[in-house]
């Protein structure tokens, strides 16, 4: 189990560039939190990278994550990674008990939302995104309406972190990989 193998699983099941970038963003946030908590950053990163790998082939809520869990188990991925992926959203009903599971839940929707905020900036740059800007956009229900704001709030609560601090931490993690996400800004 390493990033190279996880990336092969991701790209085998996922063709969408935006979904791959989302996976890389969640991976970066997971690695940053693993470092903060003194956990295994490679393992946490793999959970982030693979959390939605089955979404394109199983977008239905009664299959997404459940099929991903099954596929990962069949391929010999550790239970802790497979279960974190199963528990990364409320719709599965899987309990989040470990710090890795809670963190994956906390960063998934937020990473997507932060990227959406950067994409509406004139420069399309993560450098221009901060926690207050994200909080303002969270109040606009028409903006990125597919993002579950309740999960963003609940994720920070489950981690026991102030929401603004959590948002700022994830922004910093994403800023480190902004070029990989195509969000380093426009060059005029």
Q: What residue ranges do the domains of the chain occupy?
A: 3-181
Asked whether the predicted pLDDT for residue 173 surpasses 70, the reply is: yes
Structure confidence at residue 188 as a pLDDT band (50, 70, 90): very low
Distances (CA, A) of 99 to 44, 115, 133, 137, 174: 10, 24, 27, 28, 20
Query: Average pLDDT, stretch 63-86?
Result: 95
If you average pLDDT over residues 155-181, what whole number do you get?
97
**Is the Cβ–Cβ distance between 47 and 38 less than 8 Å?**
no
Confidence category of residue 33, pLDDT binned at 50, 70, 90: very high
Is 60 exceeded by the pLDDT of residue 187?
A: no
Q: Which two tokens stand for residue 88?
A: 């990364």
Task: State the pLDDT confidence band at 186, using cuts at 50, 70 and 90.
Answer: low
Q: 3-181 in CATH: which number? A: 1.10.3210
Q: Identify the three-state secondary structure at position 29.
A: helix
């Amino acid at each position: 189990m390493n990033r190279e193998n996880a990336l092969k699983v991701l790209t085998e099941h996922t063709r969408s560039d935006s979904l791959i970038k989302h996976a890389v963003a969640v991976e970066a946030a997971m690695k940053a939190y693993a470092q903060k908590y003194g956990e295994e950053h490679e393992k946490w990163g793999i959970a982030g990278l693979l959390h939605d790998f089955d979404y394109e082939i199983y977008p239905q809520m009664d299959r997404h994550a459940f099929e991903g869990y099954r596929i990962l188990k069949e391929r010999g991925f550790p239970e802790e990674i497979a279960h974190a992926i199963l528990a990364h959203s409320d719709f599965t009903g899987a309990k989040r008990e470990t710090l890795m599971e809670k963190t994956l839940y906390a960063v998934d929707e937020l990473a997507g939302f932060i990227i959406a905020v950067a994409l509406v900036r004139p420069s399309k740059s993560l450098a221009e995104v901060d926690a207050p800007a994200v909080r303002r956009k969270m109040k606009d229900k028409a903006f990125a309406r597919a993002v579950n704001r309740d999960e963003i709030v609940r994720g920070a609560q489950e981690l026991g972190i102030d929401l603004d601090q959590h948002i700022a931490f994830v922004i910093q993690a994403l800023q480190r990989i902004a070029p990989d996400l195509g969000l380093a800004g426009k060059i005029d």
